[in-house]
Amino acid sequence: IGVQLNFSQAQGQDFYVLEQNNPNPFVDETSIGFYLPKASSAVLTIRDVKGSLIYRIEGDYAKGRNQVTLSKAHLNTSGVFYYTLQTDAFTETRKMILTNK
């Protein structure tokens, strides 16, 4: 049986991608990357496990890979959070963890 793994970047893709934040878990700062197949407006929201809105970033982003950097100051507390990227044609949510080391 031939097993092959192929890891590639979002370069040249024609679909939306919300990447896992890096690093995760994080202590001071983390980056959230995403790929847009066309320039568009997007909203990135951060919510706690109860669903309460903690932070919101709205902007116009270019076609291709984009990145948003968050610091612990944006979230005000440690714990588990869910971040959602939403455009007119796409919505996806991922989980991240802020720790107090």
Tens-digit pLDDT profile for residues 13-51: 689 999 999 999 999 999 999 999 999 999 999 999 999
Instruction: Return the percentage of the chain with pLDDT > 90, whole number.
Output: 81
- Cβ partners under 8 Å of residue 65, min gap 6: 9, 10, 11, 33, 34, 35
Measure the CA–CA gap between 54 and 52, rounded to whole angstroms.
6
Instruction: Kindly report the pTM of this predicted structure.
Output: 0.84
8 Å CB contact between 30 and 96: yes
